[in-house]
Every structure is written in C-alpha cells, then in structure tokens.
Structure 1
Amino acid sequence: MFDTDLSELATADLLESAVEHRLAANRADARLLEHAQIYADRFHPSTCGVRPGRRSCDGRERAVVLGGEGCPEIAEFAVAEFGVVLGISPMVAARFIGEALALRHRFPFTWARVLAGDATPWKARQLASACVKLSEEAATYVDQRIAPLIDSITPYRLEKIIRAAKRHADPELARAEAAEAADERGVFVGRSDDHGNKTLFAKAPAAAVIRHDATIAAIADALQTFGDTRHLQHRRADAIGIIADPRYTQELLTQARNHPAPARPTDATVPGEVAVSSPTTDRRGTATRPPTPQHDTPNTNEANPTDDCGPAHRLLRVDEASGRGAAHGAVGDSLNGTAGASASDGTSDGSDHSETSPSGDPLEPPDDPFLHSSEPPEPDLPADPFDSRAMSYVPGPRTQPDPGLPMDLAAQRALDARLAEIKQAAYTNPTTSAGQVRPGHTEIFVHLTDHTLATGNGVLRAEGIGPLLADQLTELVGHEPYVVKPVIDLNDSVSADAYEIPTRIREHVRLTYPVELFPYGTRETHRAIDLDHIQPYDPYGPAGQTSTRNLAPLSRYAHRVKTHAPGWNVRRVDTKTLEWTTPHGFTFRVNPTGTHRVDPVKRAL
C-alpha cells in the first residue's frame, strides 16, 4: 500500500502500513498452513509406496496421527523433510503439521475464519494445540464456542476461555488431567540462564519438603555465623550446593553450633516502615513479626505472634497459600500448583496473585509462538517450571526480609578459606565420630581457549550449563577437592575395529559435537545420545570403521530417519561438516556454526 520510505510517512499512514503488513503476514501464515495440509495428504500411508519388509518395529517408519482424533495419518519420516526446508526442528515441524490438520478436520469453524482473514493463524494453532487430547466431538463443541471470539480478545483471556471450554466439553478428561497433575512428584532441573544460574523445582511429600527446607535454613544461618553478610536468599542458594555433601553439611552445622554468633549490623530504618528494636527473619526468608514494635500498625501479611507451632507451621501455612513472598512466591506456588491454577483457571483466593507484570497487568503469552518462542525442550528434559512465572514478582528493597551487606574481596576470601577448612575437616578430622570417608566425585567438562586458560579472562563453556565468564569457574568448582584430567586433543582421530563404541571414542565425539548433527536438530549431546556410523558399518569391511571421523551424534528420531528413510543421504565434507540430502534433493550442511542450505548451482560447481 505504501511503497515509499517509511520515515517519510505521516504517523497515521505509518500505522496503516503496519496494519497492512500484519494482514499480509496473516495471509502468508494461513497459506503456510495449507501447504502443511497438502503435504500431509501426499504422505498418507495409503499413498506411500509399499516397501519390502516395511515394519513398525526396529526403528522403521510408522503411521502417526499428529493432530488428534479425527485427523488423517501421516508417514512419520515425512515430517523431517518438511521441517528441514522450513528451518525448524522435526519436533516443531510435527507440531505444526498436526495443528494444520487439526484445524481442517477438527475445528472447521475456526479454520473458515482463518481462511477468510478474520482469525489470526497462530491463535487458531494455539486452540488446536490446547485441545489435541479432546475427542472429535468435544473438539467440535469447543470450536463452535471459540471461533467467534478467537480474534476479538487478548491471548491471555483466550487461553483461559479455551481451558474452560475444554472442561465443559470433556469433564472426564479434565478430571483425569487434574488427577495426573496431582500425582506428579519429582525433582527437576531447569535449563541454565545466561549468567550461570539454574532452577531446581521439587514436588515431593510435604514433610520431606519441610525437612529439606529446615536444613537449608540451618545452613544459611551457619554461613552467617562464619561471617557471610549477604542477604538470606543468597545464603540459601549457596546452601543448595552444600547440602549435596552430607558430611560437609554435618560438619558445618556442628562447628556453627560451637561458634559464637557474630554481631549483627544495625540497619537504618526504612522510611514509611515499622521501626523495630530487634528485627528478625525466619529461616525461609519470610519476614516475621518483630518482638517489640514501636507502634501498633497492623500487618495482615505477617505471622500471628501468638502462634506456637514454630517454623513447621509457618512452612505449611506458606505452601498452602498462593503467597507472593520474596522467598516463596515461585517455589511455594509451584510445589502445590497454585501458580498454575491462578493463571490457568481464573480462580483467586481473594487477592489477585496470578501472573502480573511490575505494572500490575497480566503477563500475556508472546504474540506468535511460532515466530518468537524458542525450541521446546526434549521430552526427557523437563521444561523449567519457572520460565513463565519466576519473574512475575521481583521483591524490591523494601520487601527483602534480610537485605544483608555486600562482602569485599578480603572478607569473601576469608569466608572461602574458612569453608574450605571445614570441608577438609569433614573428611579428615570430623567433629562427629563417623570417621573419615572419601567425598563423592563429579565430572565437569569445560571448553576454553589457551588464552582464557593462561590469563583467567574470557568466556568458557561448561557442559550442561552453557557459557560462563572465566571468573565463574571458581564458583562452579567451589570448595571441592578437584583433579584436572589431561586435555583431550579433539583434532586427533581415534578408531576401533569393532562395531561397539569404546568409552574413549564416545567421549571424544561427544566433546567434539555439543549438539546433534541432524539439520536444525536441537538435542544436546549427552552420555546416552545415539552415535551413528556415518558410513554404515560393514562387518566384512576394513579395520577402523568405528572412528571419531565416522561417528555423529543424533537424536533417536534423526538416527531412525538416516537409517530407514528412503532418499536421505549423508556424507562428511570435512572434519567438522556433514552434508545431508533430502529425498527431494534439498541439500544442507551442518557444522559448529549451524545448519546452512546449499545452493544447487554452487554445489554443482
């Protein structure tokens, strides 16, 4: 509509141009959904050529239903090529094709609005994805009620209305999902952020959580006893690393009980807050009522001063509420599911603690999950439960129960030396009579350059954590006794004659390739990942076929595609690059810099 320099447009025309481009993008997205539908039709199992010996076992191709009941089947391996040409992983491609088929076969009213330009395609896909477990009849019920609203309300409200319609359509499924969620117990580790932090999420019996929390609180107090002046939550975070070593924990707590408590610094009274003569904080980081307030301003958020149940009572009270405290706003909610309930069900305990931004407005999902969301985690790597809710409430300085004081370099070194001494005593001369034991061992693989190693400055990569500053390696190693293993020269070629892969070769390949080598693959290499022979192993062939140059890490699905899907070819271009050719002649090269499509003309030259 406006084929001119945008900077020359009036503001009204600029906004009108933005609307036109958004409508054009929606039309393109709808057209892409049609492409996915037609592509799936061409790979229905009934239209695929019969291959001798085709079976659904031993990793061979199967017919799968991707969009839910009522959708046609599709040949499983066809998904891989569709994803590769679009530049997305096979998992995302399968989800996209499934949503496209579901819209056509299970949500015809919504699909008609998409084709007419009256519904945003990604919102329609959100509906299809949310209802994938519903029966065809229940999906029709939801479709009739959601289609008129899908583009007239915010994504946040749309998600809640979809959830309500699902429960009306299939109450039994809703009850089964609720029961399944209630039975989920486990301890999950989230993905690392950009600063070397990880999230630990636990859903366990209440008594076990309370006991664990009490031990963390005791360790945090012990650190303060030995001179750690940081605020409580930092000490509790460090306690997670200490509690992993029972002997160290026991020695630290034993010595702390016999150590005189340091004098607490006197904090200045914050204007507008209650001034107290002896402020106290409970061990979870939740502010408790001081013993002698200077005036009688009531505070309904504080614990009842007449409670005699002790810390255990306070813990149970916090876990059962949808509280939003500095210490337990995320963890407490996640343990009992209240955070999900408040955001998902629209329920409230009388105080709106559902997902909110600092301005008080609800946090809504991103505009277009297909365009903006990151790759989903692999099924065996649970999603971080705090990704969408951990930052919904960030306590400010006035709500921090124990702001603490920063530690200078000398104080930090003195504390580190004292803790290292205590840890050494735990295994050589313990205060308790348990005798000497050997500490456990943890293996950490760190990738760094010779310059970083020599200077101590720069960026390194720790496996399972991600990029870190060189200074953060000290925090990673901590006070543990450590042994530096010889550096593995990844430029060396190591081989074996047998089909089985020796440990030394497996480790070499895993360190060389941090991510699988399938085009746009997302699976990070780990000890259990498949290592596939690039050139198939020939039992009658030459020696040394199992080598670091002939092995590639692949996810199980990619491994099956390479081995059993007709038309896929792979060859090694150089020591770091694999070239993949799809059944329809598209060529891609995968190396440490990512996946790159090869121009057929350039490849011929």
Structure 2
Amino acid sequence: MDRGTHTTATALIDAVRERTTAARVAEAAAFVAVGDWATAHTSDEVVGDPITVLGEWHEESYAETLAGDQFLELGGPGAPVVAEFCIGEIAAARGCSFDAARRLVGDAIELRYRLPRVHARVAAGEVDVWRGRRIARSTRTLTFEAAGFADRHVAYVAHKATTGDIDRLVAEAAARFDPETTEAERAEADGGRHLTIELGDVGYADPLTGCLRGTVDVHGTLDLADALDLDRTVAHVARQLVDLGCDQDLDVRRSIALGEIARRCDGISTLEYDVDQPPTQPPTPTRTRREVVLFVHLDQAAITGTLNGFGPGIDACTGMTGIDLARLDTPGAPRGVVMVEQVQAWCNAPDTKVTVKPVIDLNQHDAVNGYTPPDGIADHVRARWPRCVFPYCTRSSRTADLDHCRAYDDNGPPGQTSTTNLFPLCRRHHRMKTHREMTTGNKWTYRPTHRDNGEPPNALIWTSPTGLRYLVDRDGTRPWPPTTT
C-alpha cells in the first residue's frame, strides 16, 4: 500500500469512528429526551401505589374494556407511574410500535429513577444506550434497595459488562435484599420450561431450499415426566396413522400426530375405533371430520389457471411463474403466503370440512343503519385495511375493533355504519382515539384524505394531541406536514 492509498484508508476509517461517536452521542441525547418526556407525564404515585384511571365513558358497556388514559407501572418499585397515552406520541415520533415505545419509556424511567449512576454514564455518552437498556431490563424486578446495590456495583463497568455479569449481579442483589422471595421462586418455578410454536414464520421461504413451506417450527423444553408422556402418545398416534393409510415416513407421521392430539384435546376425537366390530378382529381406526375456516386471497389467474392465454402460472409479459400463490388471512393465525397446491391439499382432505369465505369486491361499498356492522361489512373493512390504522401499528385487523371515523349518532342520517366510515383500530389505539390525554386534554383524531386537497387517495391523516400529523395507507406510515393556514 503506497502512502497516498494509506492516507485515504486512514481518512475513511477516521470518518467511520467520527460518525460512530456522533451517532452514539445523538442516540444518548434522544434517549434522555424520551426520559424527559416521560417524566413530564408522571404522577406523584410510584410503583406499588394504587393506579389512577382518568377518562370518559361514551357507552356504559365500554367501562371495563375501553378505559381512558391511565397510569402505567413501567419501572420497578419506587419509580413513578407514567400516563399511558403519552407513549403514543413517542411511538409516532420514532416510527415504531406502541409496544416498542412502551419498552423504551420503561427503560428510561428505570434508569433515571432507580439506576441514576448508570443513567448518568448513558447520558454522557460513556455507555451505549443498548447496554444501559439491557441493565434496566434486568433490574426491574428488584426492590428499590436491591436496585441501588446493583447500580453502585455495575455503573463503573457498565460499558463492558456482559449479560452473564449483569445476571449474576442481579441474582446476588435479589438474594441479599429479598431472600424470602428468592427462595420461594427457586422452589416453585422452573423458568427453563417452554413450548414455542413459530407461527410468525408460516409460508415464508425455507432458507435452505428457498421453497414456500406452509409449515411452522415447534420447539421447547419440558419436564421429563411430561416429555415421556408426550413421546409415548405421539408414537401411539403415529402408529395409528399407518392403519389409516398414511404412508409417510416416521418423522412426518409424528408431526401429523401432534396435530391429531391437539384436535383431540380440543374436544374432537379425531382417531376413534369402531366399537361395532367383532372382538376377534383388530380394531380399525376411523376419523371424525374437523372444521377449518380459511380466508384465502387468490389472484384471478390462479383461480382460472391461465394468464392471457399462456400456460398455468406463466406471466405473458415476464414469462415467470407466480400466480400459483395463496395469501392466507385466517383468524387466530398469522398472515402468510403458501402454494395454491397447499390449499388444494387442505380442501381435498376427506376428513376436513373447509369453509372458504366469499371473495370481497373492495371496489363496491355497503352501508347499514344500525351501529354494529354485519359480517359482510366487517370482512370488507378488514380486507381493505389488514392492520390497525393507527400510525406505525402492525397489529392484525382481524382482532381489532371497528371504529366509526365520523362518530355514530343515534339521531343522525342512515347509513353511518359503512365500509367508508369504519376503520380497524386495536383496542389500545381505539382507547387513545376515544379518550383525551391527561396532560394536554386533547385526543388523537383522524380523517380520510381528500383528492381536492392534493392528498393521496385511500389514506388517512392522523393528528396527535400535540398537533403532529401522520399519513397512513396500506403501504405504512410517514410523517405529514402540519396544517397550513
């Protein structure tokens, strides 16, 4: 490497170091600002005191499920409680989900009020924000005195402490200051046991084969006795599947058996024997029908099997396949893409009753005079808006409330409950839209966009209690300019 090249390389690496330092300082400043915002929305109450709820009821039936702004316990004992609705502003400003913003605010409160030494080093840029937040998540269950002990012992090494170091220190603090609880938890809990069903990965490409799987991964850690019982049951049902004509290998039959066991425990005995057979003959297992409801969105070409006269699944313009995919939208299951052949296999299974909801034409609109929308209108709205329409929210509309954008008026005109006036809001964001903030006294509001104003079609514009605006459409959320006068 000659001198000129060496000088250029040094300048480049210096630029990396400078920008990394600047980014760390900026992130620390943003984290401190989040804590300042949260502190401005705290109460004199602390974690452990009775929690105040402040709101307004629009209907008596909403009293328990649609409460107004309330204080949340986001830090450990001794930390102040924080008004819930203020977190919505943080989520929108950072472009993240409400849950992510709540975790961020909780970490900021934990550090500021229970770990002041670590917080000071984070604010000074001496400790990365992610390291400070990792410590805050570990100490939240400690008593106030134990958190102070952890703060004193970890602050000076917070910039390099490993997860193991922090966990050992937290365990020591808990044992020192709350030995009774520590012993009770040790005796009663076995935190290593879990069972995870990776529903979020359904339909995505297998990293090894690149194929659309239509399957999910299941893994866990069980008590030994439970594991032995489960293994015996799975092996037994897998043998029964052979009698039913299943010619798959043992691993596949064991995976199928787990589904059979789940349906049996759900009150549907899917493998039964014919009790009328003579006792001299071996019993023959039979199946009872199971029921599955599918919301499947298919391209018209996938239904007909052709595209512009070309062969099945072939695009006339690109010559590529791609119409043989189905987009699943089933209540209780994640969205995903699977092969049409997978749907056909489900539909052709002789032991399965499949209900496919009718295709909805989103270009047609409907309305009724009552307050509660019928299933057809509800399905239309949820198909048009697959997610909660609050800025940056990613919750599925299948489990969301349907909100009247223009408030429903019992004495108003007919047709107020319509596909153009209903929008899905998850329960938390429905509450934030319905009730006022404690501090500003304002609400989140939204309205559909207007072409006459030069606004994008098929979108919503939200205004926060502080006056910031966000545009939401099917592609996501982005900040929107303030209203001009």
The answer for the alignment partner of 1:459 in structure 2 is 325
**Equivalent in 96, 105, 115 of residue 123 of structure 2:** 115
Distance change in 2, residues 1:7/1:64 (3 Å): farther
**Aligned to 1:482, what secondary structure does the other structure show?**
strand
Deviation at 1:590, TM superposition (A): 1.4
Letter of the 1:249 counterpart: L
Partner Cα separation in structure 1 for residue 155 and residue 281 of structure 2: 68
Partner of residue 506 from structure 1, selected from 359, 378, 390: 378
Q: State the partner residue of 2:47.
A: none
Distance 2:16 2:167 in 1: 26
Deviation at 1:560, TM superposition (A): 0.9
When residues 562 and 122 of structure 1 are mapped into structure 2, their CA distance, relative to the original with a 3 A threshold, is same
Task: After superposition, give the CA deviation of every residue in 1:281-330 in whole Å (9 maximum; x if it has no partner).
Answer: xxxxxxxxxxxxxxxxxxxxxxxxxxxxxxxxxxxxxxxxxxxxxxxxxx
Give the residue type in structure 1 aligned to 2:25: R
Report the Cα distance in structure 2 between the residues aligned to 1:596 and 1:540, rounded to whole angstroms: 36
Q: Distance in 2 between matches of 1:176 and 1:541?
A: 60
Determine the structure 2 residue equivalent to 1:318. Answer: none
Q: Equivalent residue for 1:61?
A: 69
Q: How far apart, CA to CA, are the structure 2 residues paired with 1:156 and 1:183?
A: 17
Counterpart Cα distance in 1 of 2:408 and 2:446: 14
CA–CA separation in structure 2 for the residues paired with 1:105 and 1:482? 55
1:597: Cα distance to partner?
Answer: 1.4
> What whole-Å deviation, never above 9, does each CA across 1:380-428 have from its counterpart, x for those lacking one?
xxxxxxxxxxxxxxxxxxxxxxxxxxxxxxxxxxxxxxxxxxxxxxxxx
Question: 1:221-268 deviations in whole A, cap 9, x for unaligned?
Answer: 4556757454x433322223344366553469xx9xx999xxxxxxxx
Instruction: Quote the offset at 1:163 in angstroms.
Output: 4.5
- Note the C-alpha offset of 1:155: 4.1
Instruction: From the superposition, tell whether residues 52 and 249 of structure 1 become closer, same or farther in structure 2 (CA, over 3 Å).
Output: closer
Q: Distance in 2 between matches of 1:533 and 1:184?
A: 45
Is 1:595 the counterpart of 2:477? The answer is yes
| Most deviating of 502-511 and 443-452 | 502-511
User: Once the 2 structures are TM-superposed, how far is the Cα of residue 187 of structure 1 from its aligned partner?
Assistant: 7.2
With over 3 angstroms needed to count, the CA separation of the structure-2 counterparts of 1:98 and 1:532, relative to structure 1, is: same
The partner residue of 2:412 within 516, 522, 541 is 541
**Aligned partners of 2:372 and 2:172: how far apart in 1?**
53
AA aligned to 1:96 is: L
Which deviates more from structure 2 when the two are superposed, residues 591-600 or residues 454-463?
454-463
Match of 1:523 in 2: 395
Which whole-Å CA distance do the structure 2 matches of 1:53 and 1:39 have between them? 21
Return closer, same or farther for 1:160/1:220 CA change in 2, 3 Å cut-off.
farther
CA distance in 2, matches of 1:180, 1:508: 49
1:239 maps to amino acid: A
Q: Which runs of 5+ in 1 are unaligned?
A: 1-5, 261-429
Q: CA deviation at 1:72?
A: 2.7
| Secondary structure of 1:461 counterpart | strand
Q: Which residue of 1 aligns with 2:445?
A: 569
Partner residue, 1:249: 271
Matching of residue 495 in structure 1 with residue 361 in structure 2: no
Aligned to 2:214: 196
AA aligned to 1:66 is L
- Asked if 1:449 is matched to 2:305, the reply is no
Instruction: Give the match for residue 463 of structure 2.
Output: 581
Q: Which residue of 1 aligns with 2:102?
A: 94
More strand by share: 2
- Alignment-derived partner of residue 266 in structure 1: none
Partner of residue 338, structure 2: 469
Question: What's the offset of the Cα at 1:562?
Answer: 0.3
User: Residue by residue, what CA displacement relative to the aligned partner does 1:17-57 show, whole Å, maximum 9, x if unpaired?
Assistant: 434333222211210121012212333357xxxx9976997
Structure 2 vs 1, CA of residues 248 and 94 (structure 1 numbering), >3 Å: closer, same or farther?
closer
> Residues of 1 paired with 2:184 and 2:384: CA distance?
45
Instruction: Trace 1:101-500 onto structure 2 (pairs within 5 A).
Output: 101-155=109-163, 157-175=165-183, 177-178=185-186, 181-182=189-190, 189-193=197-201, 194=204, 195-200=213-218, 210-221=228-239, 226=245, 228=247, 230=249, 232-243=250-261, 244=263, 248-250=270-272, 431=284, 439-455=289-305, 457-463=323-329, 464-470=333-339, 471-474=341-344, 476-477=346-347, 479=349, 480-500=352-372
Match of 1:24 among 22, 25, 36: 22
What's the secondary structure of 1:518's corresponding residue? Answer: coil
For 1:233, the aligned partner's letter is: D
Q: 1:452: how far off?
A: 2.9
Paired with 2:402 and 2:188, the residues of 1 have a C-alpha distance of: 35
Contact 1:127 1:162 in 2 (8 A): no
After TM superposition, give the deviation of residue 189 of structure 1 in Å: 4.3
Structure 1 residues 477 and 181: alpha-carbon distance in aligned structure 2, compared to 1, 3 A threshold:
farther
> What percent identity do the matched residue pairs reach?
32
Given that 2:328 and 2:338 are in contact with CA atoms closer than 8 Å, whether structure 1 keeps it comes out as no
Could you tell me the TM-score, scaled by structure 1's length?
0.60
Report the TM-score, using the length of structure 2 for normalisation. Answer: 0.73
Report SS of the residue matched to 2:293.
coil
Distance 1:510 1:28, change over 3 A: same
- Retained in 1: the 8 A contact 2:55–2:68? no
Count of paired positions: 417
Q: What is the CA–CA distance in structure 1 between the aligned matches of 2:6 and 2:270, rounded to whole Å?
A: 64
Equivalent position amino acid for 1:453 in 2: I
Shift of 1:538: 0.7
Question: How has the CA–CA distance of structure 1 residues 233 and 105 changed in structure 2, closer, same or farther, with 3 Å as cutoff?
Answer: same
Pair 1:72–1:241, CA change in 2 (3 A): closer
* Per-residue deviation, 1:177: 4.7
Aligned AA for 1:462? L
CA deviations over 1:190-244 (Å, ceiling 9, x no partner):
43312433345678887665444323213434556757454x4333222233443
